[in-house]
Amino acid sequence: MPTLLVPAGGGPVQRLGSDGTPTGEPTTVAAALTAESPDARWVWAATAECYPPLLAAGGRIARCHDLALTEALLLGHEGRWGEPRSVAAAWSRLHGLPVPIDIDQGESSAEPTLFEPVRSALPAGVDPMAAVAEVYADQLRRIAATDCPVRFGLLVAAESAGALAAVEMTTTGLPWSADVHRETLSSLLGVRTPAGVRPTRLAELAAQVDAAFDGRRTNPDSPADLMAAFSAAGRPIESTRSWVLRAVDHPAVEPLLAYKKLARILAANGWAWQERWVRDGRFRPDYVPGGVVSGRWATRGGGGLQIPKVLRGAVRADAGHVLVVADAGQLEPRLLAALSADSAMAAAAQAEDMYAAIAVRSFGGDRARAKVGLLGAMYGQVGGQAAAPLSVLRQQYPVALHLLEEAARLGERGGLVRSHLGRTCPPVRDDWSSTGPAARARGRFTRNFVVQATAAEWALTWLAIVRSLLSTVDGAELVFFVHDELVVHAPADVSETVTSILYDGAREAGRLLFGDTPVRFPLDVSAVGCYADAG
């Protein structure tokens, strides 16, 4: 499989031989797309910057090595999490020079993100092709020096493949009916009003809140106003979060909760949102692969990973097409079973409903207790109603629980934990305390990190495999990826083929990560005309 180097900033493409040395003369991107094998691996600074113009010109890339994403993974693994990751920064570190700071691009996501597309310039006189080649060679050496190079190499490959898929999905877009969206907004909120003026339904709910406070004028968008109003009514509250309000016995709570729900829809997915993010019948979020500490994706504006259920009716397949929607069921507990190689938990993970299987073996069939205990074990909720079932799990599944508790103890001491493939959690901050609430909070974080980050790896590997297999199916396009769910837009007559690819991809992802594991990774797959009808 040939390797093609793209210089920082773009330009002629250089082919590398099997030993990593340049072969032949540099050529143009267009010529390389025509002459090279479709399976060639393209090495470039950042997929988000380099791939869009190639894709727009009709050049679909099968494989790449994203230097910026790989640099971020390697820096994290080396305990230098968060340092600049551009080619210029990596090259400067290699030469002992001051490291340029990455320049963030675009709008920040509402979800916490770590990495934005970056560009920083190489020093004057440095050959961009030579710089890319040198950084690439250095990364290959560092990957080979990790604890498990094969696993880490799979992580790099999956992360880079995900970056390709992200660009393609932004370009393709998620089918979106603007008419259905507008009708839904009108039914929920009333007719559209000018900016700064509440739609009818929100105005009605705001008036009900005022009435519940005996006519006191209260701005339901202002936490300070609301806290003062509840305090004056003899119901002081510590915050205006919904779960806090639900515990308050006061007539203002019901209209206020309804107001907050609708106000979120207006702000996050209202008329203005549609005008900005929906074009030519497609919603085109700007994905940020590896944007969250666990390796999950984020978006740079648009809230693409948080489509409210009430608006999913607007996601509609084109005529003659379907949306094939697949999500992995109970993914994190299954990955805990595979990660830990706990034989008893792995046996439970062979069942379609893992919680039910654990309930039959350990809780007299009480599925709710099994679920509470297992989720508590993974998320660090070890007290309250989770305490008793957690004690049972420790006895019945000691290997799996030991893995989680060791990760928690390491985190409490300020240590680093890694996912199955080698993604590393962030280090503690300089002002972190190794005792008290801060240590316990970090223990809860690291306890879950090992599972959640591995879940992100499984899902990303699944995405990469499905993307590759779909390239052989005419008209089938990946259009959405969120955590452990994939959506493919395809002609109706190939929906069975797409479904098989999704199942095959899930099985292969499990095999690539864990080898011959007894753990199953079942999917819930449906071919529908409307996203709201899935599942």
Residue 120, pLDDT score: 66
Is 114's pLDDT higher than 60? no
| Reported pTM | 0.91
How far is 295 from 82, CA to CA, in rounded Å? 13
The DSSP line for 362-398 is HSTT-HHHHHHHHHHHHHT--SGGGHHHHHHHHHH-H
Residue range 389-408: mean pLDDT, rounded: 95
Mean pLDDT is lowest, of 8-12, 327-331, 411-415, for 8-12
Give per-residue burial for 77-107: e unless 16+ CB within 10 Å, then b.
beeebebbbbbbbbbbbeeeeebbebeeeee
Q: Is 41 helix (H, G, I), strand (E, B) or coil?
A: strand
Task: List pLDDT tens digits, range 47-94.
Answer: 999 999 889 888 899 999 999 999 999 999 999 988 999 999 999 999
Give me the pLDDT at residue 166, please: 96
The least confident of 102-106, 209-213, 292-296, 370-374 is 102-106
pLDDT value, residue 62: 93
pLDDT tier, 374 (very low <50, low <70, confident <90, very high otherwise): very high
Query: Does 106 score more than 60 pLDDT?
Result: no
Q: Are 529 and 323 in contact (CB under 8 A)?
A: yes
Output the average pLDDT for the chain.
91
Q: Report the chain's terminal Cα–Cα distance, integer Å.
A: 40
Question: Which of 473-494 are b and which e, b meaning 16 or more Cβ less than 10 Å from the residue's Cβ?
Answer: eeebbbbbbbbbbbbbbbbeeb
Residue 117, pLDDT above cutoff 90: no
Among 219, 213, 237, residue whose Cα is nearest residue 227: 237
CA atoms within 13 A on the CB side of 231: 10
Q: How confident is the model at residue 22 (pLDDT cuts 50, 70, 90)?
A: confident
Using DSSP's 3-state secondary structure scheme, residue 348 falls into helix
Is 415's pLDDT higher than 90? Answer: yes
What tens digit of pLDDT does each residue of 300-345 get?
878 888 899 999 999 999 999 999 999 998 999 999 999 999 999 9
Q: Which helix (H) or strand (E) holds 266?
A: helix 253-269
Task: For the chain, give the percent of residues with pLDDT over 90.
Answer: 77
Q: Over the stretch 159-184, which tens digit does the pLDDT of each residue have?
A: 999 999 999 999 999 999 999 999 99
pLDDT at 20 over 90: no
Q: What is the mean pLDDT of residues 392-419?
A: 95
Instruction: Determine the 3-state secondary structure of 125 from DSSP.
Output: coil
297 close to 286: Cβ distance less than 8 angstroms: no
| pLDDT band for position 118 (cuts 50, 70, 90) | low
Residue 7 pLDDT class (50, 70, 90 cuts)? confident
Tokens of 517: 């594991």
- 3-class DSSP state for residue 339? helix
Q: What is the pLDDT of residue 296?
A: 94
In this predicted structure, what is the pLDDT of residue 115? 40
Query: How sure is the predictor about 119, in pLDDT bands with cuts at 50, 70 and 90?
Result: low
Of the CA atoms within 13 Å of residue 419, those in its CB half-sphere come to 29
d(CA 528, CA 324): 6
In the 8-state DSSP scheme, what is residue 418?
B
**Beta sheet of 13-16, edge-to-edge order:** 22-27, 13-16, 3-5, 41-44, 63-66
Contact assessment for residue 61 and residue 23, using Cβ atoms and an 8 Å cutoff: no
pLDDT at 103: 66
pLDDT at 113: 41
Q: What is the mean pLDDT of residues 225-231?
A: 96
